[in-house]
Amino acid sequence: MSLATLIKNDPALSERIQRIAEEVKEDNQKIKSFSESYNQKYKKEIIAGTAKKHLLLEEGKRRGLTVQEVEQSSGFIPSIYTPILNWLFFFILEGRNPEREIRREQEDERYRLLVEEREVRNIEKVPEMETYVYGNITASSFQTLKKLKRLSKSPNEHEAFAAYRKCLELCKEYKVEFDRIPD
């Protein structure tokens, strides 16, 4: 089965591939940004390295050496032609470990994603709004309490007394203050 068929049959796979492609683009942008900042910081060294590299290549050419042979014998020399390698070179020179820095950023990103995922899961666990708003009581039960309280002010004494007793009983059961129930 071809990749195109798999993508057509599984839209989630297509979304994952797009998400990964976006992550790769972001990583490339970060690397370019890092390398540009280090190339600016070590501009003099890079220009001097470029001049030195040209001299070594000319000398190697006179001796009949290939570019690869000259580069292998001289080791890495920062130049304007190797911006990303320059970043790694100076990064290591400063005593930093680029792999550790990149890993730390990836871990920070993973942590941020885990926190977001946990928040989403917690939101899904939130009870229905009607239960949540009124505590241990549902919206319909709360409406019943409101009706009973309204009936407790009825001109009919028997109806008012029965409604008042029932409302107090339900208030005690639901742990709701009678005075806080709106009419």
More confident site: 96 or 140: 140
Question: DSSP code of 178?
Answer: G
Q: For residue range 12-47, list pLDDT tens digits in order.
A: 777 888 888 898 898 888 888 878 888 888 888 888
Supply the pLDDT for residue 161.
92
Q: Is the pTM of this model over 0.85?
A: no
Structure tokens belonging to residue 100:
């550790």
DSSP 149-174: HHHTT-SSHHHHHHHHHHHHHHHHHH
**Cα angle 154, 157, 163; round to 5:** 65
Supply the pLDDT for residue 162.
92
Q: What percent of the chain has pLDDT over 90?
A: 7
Amino acid at 134: Y
Supply the pLDDT for residue 133.
46
Supply the pLDDT for residue 121.
59
pLDDT bracket for residue 54 (50, 70, 90): confident
| pLDDT, average across residues 76-105 | 77
| pLDDT, average across residues 55-74 | 84
Domain ranges of the chain: 3-95, 129-180
Question: DSSP code of 179?
Answer: G
Structure tokens belonging to residue 13:
């796979």
Q: Is the pLDDT of residue 177 over 80?
A: yes
Q: For residue range 107-159, list pLDDT tens digits in order.
A: 667 666 766 666 655 555 544 544 444 566 777 888 888 899 999 998 999 99
Supply the pLDDT for residue 129.
46
pLDDT bracket for residue 83 (50, 70, 90): confident
Q: What are the backbone dihedrals phi and psi of residue 177, each rounded to the nearest 5 degrees, phi first?
A: -75, 130
Supply the pLDDT for residue 9.
74
CA gap 81, 178 in Å, rounded: 80
CA gap 89, 81 in Å, rounded: 13
Q: For residue range 159-168, list pLDDT tens digits in order.
A: 999 999 999 9
